[in-house]
């Protein structure tokens, strides 16, 4: 008889190791009313305080815009002579309207007139730096928190609400190359504040002005839009008086520009046969890429339009708009700000009121207006009949030619066509001069209300607060 017994293994059971303590990542929410003491969050937030801004050499909104590495694509700022007078943050090049701008965590209205319908960004030039306590920049998209207007990121400007004493400051700068010393830029501000353990009152006034402006003609590098000598390209415009036909076309002899000996009406079949018109290369054989006059040691001094004032003389090839447009246009700004805060019941009930008034001015300028597009259209379409310039009927009393380049079919009710000279260029150089548009903005902000903390209702509510107001 056999007895089978199961084998038994005895071993000491090891107690399970205690579970590791999970570390919660710190979070910072820019622009929210949810209080938090944490300073580092999953979304990258950069904070710039006045000391940081001064250390980086940032003096205004345009400097801040150009400093940010996230700023990309086309920008709108005060360093553009044809700007609309605003400064708009454009994170990641997704247009300024995709970057949310907040003031004290609250949304502000769009501030652009010229960019309305395209960029539609908030104008941060309406927030002078002497009024700013610090700036938070959320560099990642935040549409889940703020909505679709924060796809590119969030920029939150916190204004000063607590200040003690009196501060008077200012700055002045000017050019020193002798060509445009009238373009002075100055700023002055006054900051005053008082209060006690329950009350804070702050008043700030800021004045900034850029006088005179700096024009392209004031610097050799930008005086002519003919950039080939500098390794660039031909940037001048072909829309100028005396230019007829597609490139290279024909130019009126320079000495006849706006003079009493302009071509008589109907004096030649066309530009090729007229004694008053020549090929541009015949007028100036060096005014084309690779010509002897624009290579060699003196290439940087070559100017195809030297001596030309648009009234006769010189080597007239293209219209040099750089002679009349500004690089830095004249501008100014005046701003006033006041803040009042009073704790009525410790921190449980606080009354607050903020007021900000800003006026900005910008003198934008562009080249003289060209005559385009062609008012005559392709039959049955809205496509200009002349791709470049305008079409001038042969029977026009000022047309110097007798033979049409083309005929617009079915122009008249009887089905006959209209003979025209095509590709006629013109700019109102002497008629109206450069285009000028003066932008003035008035921005008024009034914010009043009550706010408080809810810690008196128990520990559960110690991080809760409330706010109601009118803005």
Dump pLDDT digits (tens) for 209-258: 998 888 888 887 788 787 766 777 777 787 877 889 887 788 887 666 66
Which tokens belong to 320? 């040099």
Residue 165 pLDDT greater than 90, yes or no = yes
On whether residue 68 sits in a domain, the answer given is yes
pLDDT at 114 > cutoff 50: no
Asked which of 86-90, 138-142, 209-213, 412-416 is least confident by mean pLDDT, the reply is: 138-142
Beta bridge partners of 465: 453
Taking alpha carbons only, the member of 111, 55, 58, 107 closest to residue 83 is: 111
Mean of per-residue pLDDT scores for the chain? 79
pLDDT at 316 over 80: no
Work out whether the CA dihedral 121, 122, 124, 125 comes out positive or negative: positive
Domain-embedded: residue 268 = no
Number of domains in the chain: 1
243-244/331-345 β-pairing: unpaired
Predicted confidence at residue 227, as pLDDT, reads 76
In this structure, of 32-46, 53-67, 192-206, 416-430, the range with the lowest mean pLDDT score is 32-46
Lookup: tokens for 252: 């009126």
Cβ-count burial 399-429 (b if 16+ within 10 Å, e if not): bbbeebbeebeebeeeeeebbbbbbbbbbeb
Give the position of tokens 């089978």.
Answer: 4
Q: Is the pLDDT of residue 419 over 90?
A: yes
Instruction: Give me the pLDDT at residue 306, please.
Output: 40
Q: How confident is the model at residue 454 (pLDDT cuts 50, 70, 90)?
A: confident
What distance in Å separates the CA atoms of residue 162 and residue 202, rounded to the nearest whole number?
A: 7
Looking at the domain assignment, is residue 163 inside a domain? yes
- Place 276 in a pLDDT band, splitting at 50, 70 and 90: confident
**Which residue is it, tokens 């490139």?**
247
* Overall average pLDDT of the 369-398 stretch: 91
Token digits for 224? 């002519």
| pLDDT score of 254 | 64
Residue 247 lies in a domain: no
- Of residues 422 and 467, more confidence is placed in 422
Mean local confidence (pLDDT), 7-34 = 50
pLDDT on residue 287: 47
Do 288 and 282 meet the contact criterion of CB atoms below 8 Å apart?
A: no
Owning domain of residue 91: 45-215+328-367+436-470
Burial of 17 (0-12, 13-18, 19+ CB in 10 A): exposed
Domain of residue 445, CATH code: 2.170.130.10
Over residues 441-470, the mean pLDDT reads 84
Model pLDDT, residue 372:
82
Least confident stretch, 92-101, 287-296, 368-377: 287-296
Predicted confidence (pLDDT) at residue 150 exceeds the cutoff of 50: yes
Is residue 455 predicted with pLDDT exceeding 90? Answer: no
Phi, psi for residue 323 in degrees, rounded to 5: -75, -15
Q: Is residue 135 part of a domain?
A: yes
Task: Give residue-wise pLDDT tens across range 173-206.
Answer: 887 765 655 688 999 999 999 999 999 999 999 9
- Go through 347-379 and write b for each residue having 16 or more CB atoms within 10 A of its CB, e for each that does not: ebebbbebebebebebbbbebbbbbebbebeee
When comparing pLDDT for 310 and 38, which is higher? Answer: 38
Model confidence at 113, in pLDDT bands (50, 70, 90)?
A: low
Q: What dihedral angle (degrees, nearest 10) is formed by the CA atoms of 87, 93, 95, 98?
A: -100
Residue 223: what pLDDT?
Answer: 80
Question: What pLDDT is attached to residue 44?
Answer: 74
What is the average per-residue pLDDT within 146-174?
A: 91
Residue 471: per-residue pLDDT: 79
Phi, psi of 432 (to 5 degrees): -125, -15
Please, what's the b/e burial string for 250-286 (b: 16 or more CB within 10 A of its CB; e: otherwise)?
Answer: bbbbbeebeeeeebeebebebbeebebbbebeebbee
Mean pLDDT of 335-346: 93
Model's pTM, two decimal places? 0.76
Taking residues 4-9, report their average pLDDT. Answer: 39
| Cβ atoms 445, 107 nearer than 8 A | no
pLDDT cut 90: percent of the chain above it:
33
Show the 3-state SS of the chain.
CCCCCCCCCCCCCCCCCCCCCCCCCCCCCCCCCCCCCCCCCCCCEEEECHHHHHHCCCCCHHHHHHHCCCECCCCECCCCCCCCCCCECCECCCCHHHEEEEECCEECCCCCCCCCCCCCCCCHHHCCHHHEEEEEEECCCCHHHHCHHHCCEEEEEEECCCCCEEEEEEEEECCCCCCCCCCCEEEEEEEEEEECCCEEEEEEEEEEEECCCEEHHHCCCCCCCECHHHCCCECCECCCCCEECCCCCEEECHHHCCCCCCCCCCCECCCCCCCCEECHHHHCCCCCCCCHHHCCCCHHHCCCCCCCCCCCCCCCCCECHHHCCEEECCEEEEEEEEEEEEEEECCCEEEEEEEEEEEEEEEEEECCCECCCCCCECCCCCCECCCCCEEEECCCCCCCECCCCEEECCCCCCCCCEEEEEEECCECCCCCCCEEEEEEEEEEEEEEEEEEECHHHCHHHCCCEEEEEEC
Query: For position 303, what pLDDT does the model report?
Result: 46
Under the banding of pLDDT at 50, 70 and 90, the label for residue 370 is: confident
Using an 8 Å Cβ cutoff, are 205 and 336 in contact?
yes
What was the pLDDT predicted at 161? 95
Q: Is residue 287 part of a domain?
A: no
* Residue 295 pLDDT level (bands cut at 50, 70, 90): very low
Residue with tokens 């150009």: 66
User: Residue 431's pLDDT is what?
Assistant: 67
C-alpha dist (Å) from residue 445 to 97, 109, 157, 354, 470: 20, 10, 14, 8, 11
* pLDDT-based confidence at residue 112 (cuts at 50, 70, 90): low
Specify the range with the lowest mean pLDDT, choosing from 15-29, 237-251, 292-306, 370-384.
292-306
Residue 143 — very low, low, confident or very high, per pLDDT cuts 50/70/90? Answer: confident
pLDDT classification of 346: cutoffs 50, 70, 90:
confident
In a domain, 182, yes or no: yes
């Amino acid at each position: 008889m056999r007895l089978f017994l199961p084998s038994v293994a005895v071993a000491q059971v090891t107690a399970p190791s205690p579970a590791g303590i999970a570390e919660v990542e710190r979070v910072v929410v820019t622009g929210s009313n949810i209080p938090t003491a944490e300073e580092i969050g999953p979304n990258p937030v950069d904070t710039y305080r006045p000391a940081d801004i001064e250390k980086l050499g940032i003096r205004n909104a345009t400097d801040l815009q150009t400093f940010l590495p996230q700023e990309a694509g086309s920008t709108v700022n005060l360093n553009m002579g044809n700007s609309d007078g605003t400064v708009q943050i454009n994170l990641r090049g997704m247009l300024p309207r995709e970057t949310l701008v907040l003031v004290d965590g609250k949304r502000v209205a769009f501030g652009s007139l010229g960019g309305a319908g395209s960029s539609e960004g908030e104008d941060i030039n309406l927030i002078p730096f002497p009024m700013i306590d610090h700036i938070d920049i959320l560099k990642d998209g935040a549409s889940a928190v703020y909505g679709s207007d924060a796809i590119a990121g969030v920029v939150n400007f916190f204004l000063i609400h607590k200040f003690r004493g009196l501060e008077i400051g200012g700055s002045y700068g000017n050019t020193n190359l002798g060509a445009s010393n009238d373009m002075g830029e100055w700023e002055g501000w006054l900051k005053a504040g008082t209060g006690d353990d329950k009350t804070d009152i702050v008043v700030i006034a800021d004045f900034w002005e850029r006088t005179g402006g700096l024009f392209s003609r004031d610097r050799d590098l930008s005086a002519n839009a003919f950039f080939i000598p500098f390794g660039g390209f031909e940037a001048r415009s072909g829309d100028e008086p005396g230019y007829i036909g597609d490139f290279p076309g024909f130019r009126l002899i320079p000495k006849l520009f706006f003079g009493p000996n302009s071509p008589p009406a109907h004096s030649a079949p066309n530009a090729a046969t007229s004694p008053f018109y020549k090929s541009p290369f015949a007028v100036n054989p060096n005014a084309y890429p690779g010509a002897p006059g624009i290579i060699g040691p003196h290439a940087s001094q070559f100017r195809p339009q030297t001596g030309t004032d648009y009234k006769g003389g010189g080597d007239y090839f293209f219209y040099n708009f750089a002679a009349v447009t500004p690089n830095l246009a004249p501008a100014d700004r005046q701003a006033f700000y006041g803040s009042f805060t009073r704790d009525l019941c410790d921190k449980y009930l606080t009354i607050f009121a903020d007021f900000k008034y800003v006026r900005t001015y910008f003198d934008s300028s562009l080249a003289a207006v060209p005559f385009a597009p062609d008012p005559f259209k392709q039959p049955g379409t809205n496509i200009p009949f002349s791709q470049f310039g305008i079409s001038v009927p042969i029977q026009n009393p000022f047309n110097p030619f007798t033979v049409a380049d083309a005929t617009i079919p079915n122009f008249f009710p009887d089905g006959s066509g209209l003979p025209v000279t095509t590709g006629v260029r013109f700019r109102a150089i002497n008629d109206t001069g450069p285009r000028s548009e003066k932008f003035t903005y008035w921005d008024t902000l009034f914010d009043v209300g009550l706010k408080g903390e809810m810690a008196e209702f128990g520990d559960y509510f110690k991080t809760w607060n409330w706010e109601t107001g009118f803005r």
